[in-house]
Structure 1
C-alpha cells in the first residue's frame, strides 16, 4: 500500500467518524462484531505471517477489511448490493405525442 493510498483511507475514516450518518450502512451490533473479529484476525494473521505466509497474509487482509468496516460503519459490498436491489435505472424520456409540421417554404 502506498503512502497516498494510506492517507486516502485515513481521511475516509476521519470523515466517517465526523459524519456517521452519511456513511453508515451497518448496524451497531455488526460494527462491534466486525471490529472484534477484524482485530482478532489481523493479530493472528500478523503473528502467523512467518510460519504460514499465505494463511497469515489472507487472515491479515480479511481482518483489516473487517476492522475498517467496524470502525467506519460502512460496508462497500452491502452498498453495492443495495444499489442493485433498488434497480436504479437512468432517466428516460417518454414521448407521448408527435406533431408533424408541413414546410411550405
Structure 2
C-alpha cells in the first residue's frame, strides 16, 4: 500500500465521520459486529502471518475490510447490490424482443 492509497483511505474515513448520513448504508448492530469481528480477524491474521502466510494475509485483509466497514458504516458490496437491484426490471414490466407485422387479412 502506497502513501497515496493510505491517505485516500484516511480521507474517506474522515469524510464519512464528518457526514455520516451521506455514506452510511449499514445499521448500528452491523457496524458493531463488523468492527468486533474485523478487529479479531485483523489481529489473528497479523499474528499468524509468519507461520501461515497465505491464511494470515487473507485473514488480515478480510479483517481490515470489516473494520473499515464497521468504522465508516459504508459497505461497498451492499451499495453495489442496491444499485443492481434498482436497475433490475419489475416483474410487471413487459419486454418486447421481436415484432411481427402481418400484411394478410
TM-score interval, normalised by the smaller of the two chains: 0.7 to 0.9
5 Å matches for 1:57-96? 57-87=57-87
Superposed CA offset, 1:35-86 (max 9, x none) = 0000000000000000000000000000000000000000000000000001
Could you tell me which runs of 5 or more consecutive residues in structure 1 were left unpaired when the two chains were aligned.
Answer: 89-105
Give TM-score scaled by structure 2 length: 0.83
Structure 1 runs (4+) deviating above 6 angstroms are none
Equivalenced residues, count: 89
Aligned-residue CA RMSD in angstroms? Answer: 1.2
Distance across 2 between alignment mates of 1:86 and 1:2: 35
Give TM-score scaled by structure 1 length: 0.83
Distance across 2 between alignment mates of 1:8 and 1:21: 20
Distance across 1 between alignment mates of 2:8 and 2:59: 23
Match of 2:33 in 1: 33
Give the deviation of 1:87 after TM superposition: 1.0
SS of the residue 1:86 aligns to: helix
SS of the residue 1:25 aligns to: coil
Distance across 2 between alignment mates of 1:36 and 1:72: 14
